[in-house]
Amino acid sequence: MTTTTAPPLAAAPTAPGRMPVLGHAARLAVGRLDFLQTLRGQGDIVRVHLGPRPVYVVNAPELIRSVLTTQAASFDKGRFFEKMRPVLGTGILTADTEPHRRQRPLVQPAFHHERIRGYVDIMNRLTLDAVTRWQPGQVLAFDQEMHALALRIVATSLFSSDVGERAVTATQRLFPAVSLGVARRTLSPFPWLEQLPTPGNRRFEAAVAELWAVIDMVIAAYRAQAADHGDLLSMLLAAHDENGTGRLSDREIRDEAVTLLGAGTETSSNSLSWLFHELDRHPDVQERLRAEIDGVVGPDGVRYEQIKELTYTQQAVNEVLRLHTPIWILMRRAVTEVELGGQLLRPGDEIVFSPTALHRDPAIYPDPLRFDPDRWSPERESERQRHSYIPFGMGSRRCIGDVFARVEMSVITAVILSRWKLRSADGKPVRAVCTGSLHPARLPMRVTPR
C-alpha cells in the first residue's frame, strides 16, 4: 500500500538588505514605506527582521483579508499595539480579542448616527472659529493647524461640559508630546531605549501622567453629576450590556477616552493635510469641489442633513484615504498554529501589512499614485475591489470611529473651501514621514479669501 505525504510548506523569502544584529532596522529607518512597497515583488509573504526579531510582511490583498476576517480568530494584536498600551491602556484599539469582544458593543452607541448629528455641530462651529481667525495672505503651518483643529474637535466631542473644558485645554497642551512618544516607541527595535532617563522620555512620562490625572478628574465629576452632557464621555459612562449590568470601569473609560483622542486626531488631521496638498496640485479638482460646496453650504457652515449632498467631497475624502492612508502599517500576532499563504505560522509569530502599500499596488489601482476622486464615482463602482480598500481596517476590528472621521473631514473641507483659497507657500516638494502615522514633514500654505 502506497501512502503519500503532503509537501512541506515553503518558507517565506527574506527581504534583501538584512544586516547583522540590526536586521532590516537600518533599511526601515529611512524610506519605510518605499521599502514595504518594494516587497510586493518579493512574494505574497516576505520575512523582515526588526533587530533580531523576524516578522512576516503580508502583501497579497486576499491574505490580508484572511488575517482580518476568515482567520481572525488565529491572530491577536501584535508588538506595535503592546507598545501603545502604557499610554492607551486596553481601549478597543489595543485590547486583545476577549476584552475587545466585551468592550466594543459598549462603546459602539457613542458613534450612532444620531450622536454623529450632534458632533457635526461641534465640527462646524470649531472649524468656523478657526478659519475666522485666519488673515488674508497669512502663511499657515497647515499640518499643525489641522492637527490642532482635529484635536480640539475630538476633545470637545468627548468633554463638552464646563467641567470638561479643563480636559480639552490639557489635551491640546499635552497630546503632541504623548503622540510623539508613542510613535517612537512603536517603531523602535530596541525596547531598552524606552527605559533610559532621557529628557524626551521624562517629558513623555510626565505628559502621560498629567493627561491621565485630568481625564480621571473629569470622569469623577461626571459620575457625581449623573447627567447626560450629550458628549462621548457621557455615552461611555452610560454604556451597558444587553442585560443592563455590565459596564465600563473608570479605568476602561479613561483608556477609551485616550484611545479616541489619539485615533480621532491622527487620522483626520493627517488626511486633511494631504487633501489640501493634493488640491493645490490639482486645481481642477479644487474647482469641482468648490462648485459643489457653493451649492450646498450656507453662511453658517455645514448642517448634518447637507453632508449627503457633498458627494464629490466624499469622493475626494475616499481618495486621499487611499493614496495617503494615515495608518500606514498594522500588526498582528499568531495565537495558534496557522497556515497563511503557504507559510506555517506558529504561536507568537508576528505579521505586518501596510494598508498604504496595498492602496498603491498598480495591480489593484491603475496609475495608483495619481490623485483621482472619480475612482469613487457611482459610475465606476464595478471597477472597485471592495476588499482591497481598508483605510479603517476590516472585520470585527474595523475602526469604530470611521464614520466620525469621514464626516469630520467632509465638514472641515467644505467650511474651508467655502471661504478660503489655499496654495503652497514655497512650492517645494512635500516629504512624507512615516512615524505612528503617515504625515507631511511640513506643509506651509498661504490663505487668501475667496
Could you give the dihedral angle defined by the CA atoms of residues 356, 330, 104 and 268, in that order, rounded to the nearest 10 degrees? -40
What is the reported pLDDT for 138? 97
The yes-or-no verdict on residue 130 having pLDDT over 70 is: yes
Instruction: Write the pLDDT tens digit of every residue in 206-262.
Output: 888 888 888 899 999 999 988 888 888 998 898 876 665 678 899 989 988 888 888
Q: Find the helix or strand (DSSP H, E) in which 48 lies.
A: strand 45-50
What is the reported pLDDT for 246? 74
**Best CA proximity match to 179, nearest among 446, 447, 450, 439:** 439
The yes-or-no verdict on residue 85 having pLDDT over 90 is: no
In angstroms, rounded to a whole number, what is the distance separating the alpha carbons of residues 9 and 291?
56
Instruction: Write the pLDDT tens digit of every residue in 336-371.
Output: 999 999 999 999 999 999 999 999 999 999 999 999
Instruction: Write the pLDDT tens digit of every residue in 420-429.
Output: 999 999 989 9
CA 91 to chain centre: 15
Per the DSSP assignment, residues forming a β-bridge with 444 are: 141
pLDDT band, very low/low/confident/very high, at 30 (cuts 50, 70, 90): confident
Cβ atoms of 445 and 274 within 8 Å: the answer is: no
In angstroms, rounded to a whole number, what is the distance separating the alpha carbons of residues 28 and 36?
9
What is the reported pLDDT for 20? 87
The cell numbers describing 237, all together, are 459612562
Instruction: Write the pLDDT tens digit of every residue in 366-408.
Output: 999 999 999 999 999 888 877 899 999 999 888 889 999 999 9
Summarize the confidence of residues 283-308 as an average pLDDT: 96
**Best CA proximity match to 82, nearest among 186, 184, 175:** 186
Cβ atoms of 69 and 395 within 8 Å: the answer is: yes
What is the reported pLDDT for 17? 87
The yes-or-no verdict on residue 3 having pLDDT over 50 is: no
**Best CA proximity match to 218, nearest among 156, 273, 153:** 156
The yes-or-no verdict on residue 5 having pLDDT over 50 is: no
In angstroms, rounded to a whole number, what is the distance separating the alpha carbons of residues 34 and 419?
37
The yes-or-no verdict on residue 286 having pLDDT over 60 is: yes
Instruction: Write the pLDDT tens digit of every residue in 164-187.
Output: 788 888 877 887 777 777 766 666
In angstroms, rounded to a whole number, what is the distance separating the alpha carbons of residues 218 and 227?
13
Instruction: Write the pLDDT tens digit of every residue in 310-343.
Output: 999 999 999 999 999 998 988 899 999 999 999 9
pLDDT band, very low/low/confident/very high, at 196 (cuts 50, 70, 90): confident
Summarize the confidence of residues 59-69 as an average pLDDT: 95
Cβ atoms of 440 and 433 within 8 Å: the answer is: yes
**Best CA proximity match to 231, nearest among 146, 126, 116:** 116
- 381 burial (CB, 10 Å; 0-12 / 13-18 / 19+) is exposed
Phi and psi dihedrals of 149, rounded to 5? Answer: -65, -45
| pTM of this prediction exceeds 0.95 | no
Cβ partners under 8 Å of residue 265, min gap 6: 147, 150, 151, 154, 175, 179
CA 307 to chain centre: 22
What is the reported pLDDT for 186? 63
Side chain identity, residue 379? E
pLDDT band, very low/low/confident/very high, at 6 (cuts 50, 70, 90): very low
The three-class DSSP label of residue 401 is coil
In angstroms, rounded to a whole number, what is the distance separating the alpha carbons of residues 221 and 337?
47
Highest mean pLDDT among 18-27, 88-97, 181-190, 212-221: 212-221
The yes-or-no verdict on residue 434 having pLDDT over 90 is: no
In angstroms, rounded to a whole number, what is the distance separating the alpha carbons of residues 55 and 51?
10
Domains of the chain: 25-449 (1.10.630.10)
